Structure formats: C-alpha cells, structure tokens
Amino acid sequence: MATVFEQQGRDYFLRLFNGMADAVFIAECHSDGTPGQYIEVNDVACEMLQLSREQLLKLSPYQINRVALEDQSAYVTIIDDIRTSGKTLYKTELLSSGDRWIPVEIGSQLFELDGQNVFFSVVRDITLREKYEASIQTLVRSTVGLTGQECLEEIVRNLCDWLHVDGACIGVVHGDVLEVRASFLDGQYRSPTRLPVADTPFHQVLQGEFSIYPDNAMALFSASDFLPLKNISSFIGGPMFGHDQRVMGCVCAYSSQPLESVPHVEELLSVITSRAAAECERMHYVRELSRSEEKLRIIFNSTAEAIVGLDMQGEAVFCNPSAVNILGYTDEKELIGKNFCELIRPVDLNKSVFGLAACPFIAAIASGKKVTSEDEFFTHRDGHQIPVEYWGHPMNRDNQLVGGVMTFIDITRRKTLEKQLLHSQRMEAIGTLTGGIAHDFNNILTVISGYVGLLQSQLTDTPKILSKIMKIGEAAERGSQLTHGLLAYSRKTSEPSTPVDLNQLVLNVRDIFGQVIGEQIQLTLTLSTQQLVVLADTSQFEQVLVNLATNARDAMSAGGVLSIKTEKIEIDHSFCQTYGYGTPGLHALITVEDSGTGIPMEIQQKIFDPFFTTKDTGKGTGLGLAMVWGIVKQHKGYILVDSVIGEGSCFKIYLPMTSQWLPPQLTTVNDQLPGGDETVLLVEDDPLVRESTASILTTVGYRVVSSDCAEAALKILDQQDSNLALILSDVVMPGIKGTEFYQEIRKRTAIPIIFISGYTFDSLREQGLVREDVMLLNKPIQPRVLLTKIRETLDPG
C-alpha cells in the first residue's frame, strides 16, 4: 500500500516538476559542498537548451554555466552563499545546443532529497527582458543631451528599429486634429503634418488606451485617410500624458507587415511615450516662454518709459532704448556698467545736486523699498536738466535683494503744459475781474454819455459851454475805449462775424503805421498773393496791429526795421501737440517782426498780463499786449512770441480762415435825433443809468414808465400792458436772470423788447437771449444810437 502511495506522490511531483514555466535543474552535492552531475531536469530545461534529458543528465554546471566555466572564484563565492544562507540568486548564461549562450537568472538552494543534499536551481530565460532593458538603455543613451525636434526624431527612428516596422510618429492633439511633430518612414524623416483623428487608430489611443493591431489594421480602418501606407497591416500606439494627467498626444508605429512579437511592448511604449510627452511639454513651455520673452522684449524696447536695472552698487546692468534717448546717449553700451547716479547727477526741485550717498536710487536699493518722485531732475548728456517722474522698485532673486529697477519719464512737455494751463487760468481769472470792472464802468459811462448827448442837443446856441460839454464827451469816449479794451482782454466782446481780407486790413492801417513808428524805422510789407479771408472785427484787429507797431517802435529807439508778413498755412496735429492748443486746418498767419532790443526770456510769459509793463511810470498802461491777447483769442486765434535779447522780437498771429465772403455794408447817419410819442417801460436797477436814459427818452417825446427791478416791471405789465409799446431793460438785475425775465414777459405780452447790457453778445447768447424778437445793445451807448434802434424796433417796416 505504501508503495502505491509513493508511486502516486512521485507521479504528482513529476507532473508539477514538468509543468513549471521556468527550467529546473537538480544537481548532486559532493561531500566538499560543490555541485556535481545533474540528476534531474524538467521539460522546460530541455527545451531551453535544445538538449535531451539524457544529454543533460550527463552534464554538470561546470560544463554549461558560464560563471562556473570562466570564473571559478566567482562561482565558488556563489556556492559559499548557498551553503551559508541556504539560497542565492544570480545572473549568468547557459550553453545551449549549437554553442549558443542564453542569458538566464538562476535561483539556487540546498535541498534534501532521499536523504541526500542536492542543488535545486530554478532557471529563467531573461533574453526578452534584456532586450527590453537594452532598448530602454538605448533610448536613454541616444536621447541624452538631445532636446526639441532632434530628440523626437531620434525617438521615432529608434522605435522603428526596436519594433522592426516601416514608420513611427509622435503627435500632439488639438481638437480633432493630430499635429505630427516628428515622423520617420522608410528610413527617412518626414515633414511635420496634420492628420485627422476621427475613424482612425489614433482615436482609440487618444482616449488614453494602448492600441495594438498586429495584423489586418487596414481592414479595420479602411475608410481612414490617415495611414501613411495604404497597404498598412500593423499598428501600435500609446497615449502621451501631460503633467496634469490629460492625454496630450500619442506615439504610434505602423508597418506593411504583421507586427513581430515584441517582449514587454506596452512597458517599452510606456517609457517612450513618457519621454516623448516630457519633451513635447518642454518644447511647448519653451515656445511659450520664447513668445512671452518676445512680448516683454517688444514692450521693453518700444515703451516710452525709460527702464534701467541697477545692481547693489548702483551700476546699470540693463536699460531700454527710451532710457538711452531721454538721457541723450546713442547706445545702451554708454550706460551699461556705469554708476547711474554719477551719469544722471539727479537734482531736487531747488536744483541742489544729490550726493552719491544720498542718491534716491542708491537709497532705494539699499532699503529694498519702493520710491517715487516727480519733483526732481536728471542731467542730460549735454548738461541741461530734465524734469522727470520716476519710480524705483527693489529687485529680488531667491529672496535675496540684488538691485533695483528704475523707471522714469521725461515730463518736460507736462511741465510746459502745466505752466501754460496756470498762465491761461491766471489770464482767465484776471479777464473775469476786468470784465466785471468794465461792466460797472460802462454803467457810469452810459450816464455820462447820455447827459452829454442831451446837453449837446440843447446847448447849440452857447458854444463856449458846448465846447466844454464836448470835452466831457471826448473823455467819456476814451473811457469807452478803455472798457472796450478790458472786455477785449477778457474776451467778453462779441464774436467777430464779418469776413475780412487780412491783406486789405494791413493795407488800411499802413498810413497809421507811418504816423506811429516815425521816419527812423523802415516799414516792410510782404503780403500773400492769395486772398486771406478771416472772420474779424476790423476796428479791433487794427488796434492789434497798431499796438504791436507801437511796442516795436519803443524797442527800436535808435531806428530799425518793422516787418509785417501775411501768408496761408495749415496747422497740423504736430503743431497742436507742440504748443498744447490749436485746431488743425487752414489759417492765415500774420507775422510782426522788429529788429529791436528783444524781450528777456524770464518775462515773456508775463507780457500778456494786464497792467504788466517795463516802461517808466506814466509811459504805459500795461494793457496794450493784454488787449492784443484778448482780441486774438476772441477771434479764435493763437499768438506766439519769439524773442532774443539784442536780436528783436517776432509775434505770430494765427487766425482760422473762412470760406465766407460778404461785401461791406454802408450805413448813413441822420443828424436829427429820432423820437416818438409811444410809451416805453424802462427797467434798470442802477438809478443813475435809469434817470439818464429816461431823460433821453422824454426829451425826444417818449412817455416813460420806470421800474428799478423785474418784479415791479412785471406788475406794471399786468396793469398797463395795452398802453406799452416797448420794453427797454437791463439784462443783469438782482433776484432774476435775464432769460427768466424774458420768459415772464412773454407769458404776458408780445410787445418788442430791447435789452441793454454792460456785458456782451457772447454772455447774452449763453443766457439764451439772442432771439429774433429781441434786440441787444451794449453799454455805453450813445443817445443817437439808442434812439435810432428804438425807432427801428417800433417801425420794422
């Protein structure tokens, strides 16, 4: 019975022994502990070495184990390890039939069999594993030091060699298209291309799965146009994953022949796809970095803001073209490596030069804090000071302060515009003041002129008294001219609307020039051959030319030349940008130039201020050029002055041209004061003006109903509307605006209205009083003019 069981156990052992996937060799153990002849091998061992069982049982490890054959000392060490620890694992090669060496991995241990020690060895063929490892090593060696396109091309070439296929490619997916970055086919590198993904083997790979079609791939994807070979048979592909674990592309290989059995093909492809993915991502980041650097380079080189990088010692390490240009240099090499503070010698608002230790840039670098200022100056290469606004920012690397980045802009133009704005605001403020003074003075002159006019008509038979009255009238007229000048300065005279030929206007005052400048000064006129038509008040502009000629005469006490030139020019945007004002378009330019003493630079900004004069006390009012400036501005023009001490002065006046042209209108004057017997409602808050105006009206027959305010006037209208023929009213009165007063009148009656104001048509237009049913008159007004306008209003036919 025991024999039966022993036989069954042996049969079971043999089935298990021969069923193992690895080769098994059992060798006897000599008394000295060394292996002897094989006493048992399994079928896999016979198959591995291509020897029969009988042949193998005649051999020992010393005949087929390369280590035992060629390195006795190493083999002794292996045997000692087995005896000491009971087992060992090592690599060697076994000699097979045909003298072929097979790489193997052997796990050996001492084993007791039938009362005797034996060497029990499990042997695994590692040929395929070593091929796989060799492929990986080849991949590493072949791509080490390679980047970009060169690296990808080496990968696809090696892939073709390892898999024995016709072609391979690496592609990055974008939507439904695979952008092939590297391709190798039939022994040649191919140009990058774009392939569709739909209905191709790529689609499955790009879902994140390995795809292997060892044969007949063309039949599976017969509708696809992607396949480089129309007779393709095999296809293998693996997905490339990005750092975010998303599929970014794939590595694929294909051939016209069926795919050979490749050991560890998925593991191999996984390593290749990882290497390719890493390089594709690196190339993407390099491209993005390059684009970003290019954008920064463009911004750095094209920005108008100067940028300078400084090290801890204040030396410039980089700068942009704007820094070079603003500071007056020609090349950045002139700044790089130089101490920036020594180059620019910054100064404060008081023009005090900062010492090197106190340089704000050096201080910013040392403190690691941001700095900014707009009240300092840098020194230009030619030595002049440039007003700048600058910012300093610390520059850190690895949390270590290494310097600073300084940015600055030239604010010369801004400072110029600020000065112009302040000057303009000062002129406007003074203009507002002078306009108010002129308005009040006009009321006084209206009273004087009114009574003078009445007395002149009543004292015709007393010539001595009349002559004195006329002197008063002349003084009032001079006062009127003064207020006219003040209003011209404040630009509160009416807007010119009459087309005038500028050349003819100059010719009209030529004789006056002769009287003004005298015989010691030569007058030269250079008039444009073209007609220069502008909208102008002739009398005002004649006053401009006479004032400029008078100033030129005073600057040429020993004689000289006064030149007046007219021409047509076109103002462009560059003119407007340079001077901070102006409207592009055609302009008439009149240039008045003298060869006199010139105007010092420090007072050129003040010459248009009212009451500013360099003449001795009593020899000038200081209103001449102020009136010139106001009249030119009122004409929507611009005046520029250019003067050098000892070389004379040049005034340039730009006036916008107009396409209008109207023939001059002639007027006639009737010596007799016109009158009438109608009733007039007179509304005036100034008692002197109200009384003098009422006297003028009653003298020529009118009946007058007077009111000192709008409220009282409206009550009179409610009571006597049918008896009134005309309303004669001031515009500016306490408690009510002229527009509101007009609207209240029109609610009650449609009778004619004449408004009289010490202000101008411009201000009345702003109030909405320029209407067809309203006549506007300016104070001071002569009695004859007032009465004539009343008559024209009452007798429109």
pLDDT in tens, 546-587: 888 888 888 888 889 999 999 998 888 877 777 766 788 899
Asked if the model's pLDDT at residue 140 lies above 70, the reply is no
Asked if the model's pLDDT at residue 669 lies above 50, the reply is no
At 143, the pLDDT band (50, 70, 90 cuts) reads low
Higher pLDDT, 349 or 134: 134
Taking residue 688's Cβ as centre, other Cβ atoms within 10 Å add up to 15
**Averaged pLDDT for residues 611-628:** 62
Asked if the model's pLDDT at residue 223 lies above 70, the reply is no
pLDDT of residue 439: 66
Q: Please provide the distance, in angstroms rounded to a whole number, between the alpha carbons at the two ends of the chain.
A: 159
Lowest average pLDDT, out of 239-243, 404-408, 627-631, 744-748, goes to 627-631
**Averaged pLDDT for residues 95-108:** 89
Angle between helices 510-517 and 538-555 (to 10 degrees): 30
CB 706 within 8 A of CB 680: no
- DSSP type of residue 264: T
The CATH topology of domain 130-287 is: Beta-Lactamase (3.30.450)
d(CA 54, CA 731): 139
Asked if the model's pLDDT at residue 773 lies above 70, the reply is no
- DSSP type of residue 34: -
Considering 199-203, 262-266, 505-509, 621-625, the range whose residues carry the highest mean pLDDT is 505-509
**Averaged pLDDT for residues 165-175:** 90
Backbone angles phi, psi at 292, to 5 degrees: -65, -45
pLDDT of residue 354: 55
Q: How far is CA 434 from CA 250, 530, 626, in A?
A: 85, 38, 11
**Averaged pLDDT for residues 101-120:** 86
**Averaged pLDDT for residues 177-201:** 85
The CATH number of domain 2-125 is 3.30.450.20: yes
Residue 257's closest CA among 162, 153, 163?
A: 163
d(CA 680, CA 699): 13
Q: Which residues pair with 319 in a beta bridge?
A: 308
541 Cβ contact list (under 8 Å, min separation 6): 500, 505, 631, 635
At 653, the pLDDT band (50, 70, 90 cuts) reads very high
Report which residue type is found at 363: A
Residue 696's closest CA among 710, 716, 676?
A: 676
Asked if the model's pLDDT at residue 523 lies above 60, the reply is yes
Q: How far is CA 541 from CA 428, 478, 623, in A?
A: 21, 18, 15
The count of C-alpha atoms lying within 13 angstroms of the C-alpha of 527, restricted to the half-sphere facing its C-beta, is 15
Biggest distance spanned by C-alpha atoms of the chain:
183
Considering 215-219, 369-373, 502-506, 610-614, the range whose residues carry the highest mean pLDDT is 502-506
d(CA 23, CA 18): 9
At 488, the pLDDT band (50, 70, 90 cuts) reads low
Burial class (CB within 10 angstroms; exposed 0-12, middle 13-18, buried 19+) of 646: exposed
At 771, the pLDDT band (50, 70, 90 cuts) reads low
CB 233 within 8 A of CB 258: yes
Structure tokens at 408: 């600055």
Asked if the model's pLDDT at residue 786 lies above 80, the reply is yes
Higher pLDDT, 248 or 576: 248
Give this prediction's pTM.
0.47
pLDDT of residue 526: 92
d(CA 216, CA 222): 10
Q: Is 58 helix (H, G, I), strand (E, B) or coil?
A: coil
Q: Which residues pair with 57 in a beta bridge?
A: none
Taking residue 302's Cβ as centre, other Cβ atoms within 10 Å add up to 10
Q: How far is CA 316 from CA 256, 371, 405, in A?
A: 64, 18, 9
Architecture of the structural domain at 679-794: 3-Layer(aba) Sandwich (3.40)
Using one digit for the tens of pLDDT, what is the confidence trace for 369-397? 788 877 778 888 888 888 888 888 888 88
Asked if the model's pLDDT at residue 663 lies above 70, the reply is no
Asked if the model's pLDDT at residue 169 lies above 80, the reply is yes
d(CA 614, CA 610): 12
At 30, the pLDDT band (50, 70, 90 cuts) reads confident
Asked if the model's pLDDT at residue 490 lies above 70, the reply is no
Asked if the model's pLDDT at residue 13 lies above 70, the reply is no
Structure tokens at 425: 């605001």
Asked if the model's pLDDT at residue 761 lies above 50, the reply is yes
What mean pLDDT value characterizes the chain?
Answer: 80
Asked if the model's pLDDT at residue 434 lies above 90, the reply is no
Q: Is 61 helix (H, G, I), strand (E, B) or coil?
A: helix
**Averaged pLDDT for residues 72-91:** 86
Report which residue type is found at 788: T
Higher pLDDT, 13 or 735: 735
CB 535 within 8 A of CB 635: yes
pLDDT of residue 349: 54
At 1, the pLDDT band (50, 70, 90 cuts) reads very low
At 766, the pLDDT band (50, 70, 90 cuts) reads low
pLDDT of residue 7: 52
Q: Is 338 helix (H, G, I), strand (E, B) or coil?
A: coil
Using one digit for the tens of pLDDT, what is the confidence trace for 250-279? 998 888 888 877 666 777 788 888 888 888
**Averaged pLDDT for residues 137-152:** 74
CB 51 within 8 A of CB 86: no
Asked if the model's pLDDT at residue 299 lies above 60, the reply is yes
pLDDT of residue 357: 57
Considering 113-117, 593-597, 613-617, 734-738, the range whose residues carry the highest mean pLDDT is 593-597
pLDDT of residue 341: 80
d(CA 6, CA 33): 29
d(CA 210, CA 196): 19
Burial class (CB within 10 angstroms; exposed 0-12, middle 13-18, buried 19+) of 9: exposed
pLDDT of residue 583: 80
pLDDT of residue 267: 78
Taking residue 107's Cβ as centre, other Cβ atoms within 10 Å add up to 14
**Averaged pLDDT for residues 340-345:** 79
CB 592 within 8 A of CB 632: no
Burial class (CB within 10 angstroms; exposed 0-12, middle 13-18, buried 19+) of 476: buried
CB 758 within 8 A of CB 733: no
d(CA 318, CA 402): 14
Lowest average pLDDT, out of 371-385, 452-466, 506-520, goes to 452-466
Lowest average pLDDT, out of 404-413, 589-598, 646-655, 660-669, goes to 660-669
**Averaged pLDDT for residues 37-46:** 90
Percent of the residues in the chain that have a pLDDT greater than 90, as a whole number: 11
**Averaged pLDDT for residues 421-443:** 69
pLDDT of residue 665: 45
Tokens 């001059």 correspond to what residue? 664
Residue 95's closest CA among 48, 54, 129?
A: 48
Higher pLDDT, 627 or 716: 716
Asked if the model's pLDDT at residue 516 lies above 70, the reply is yes
Asked if the model's pLDDT at residue 80 lies above 90, the reply is no
d(CA 370, CA 657): 53
The CATH topology of domain 499-656 is: Heat Shock Protein 90 (3.30.565)
pLDDT of residue 527: 93
For the domain spanning 305-410, the CATH number is: 3.30.450.20
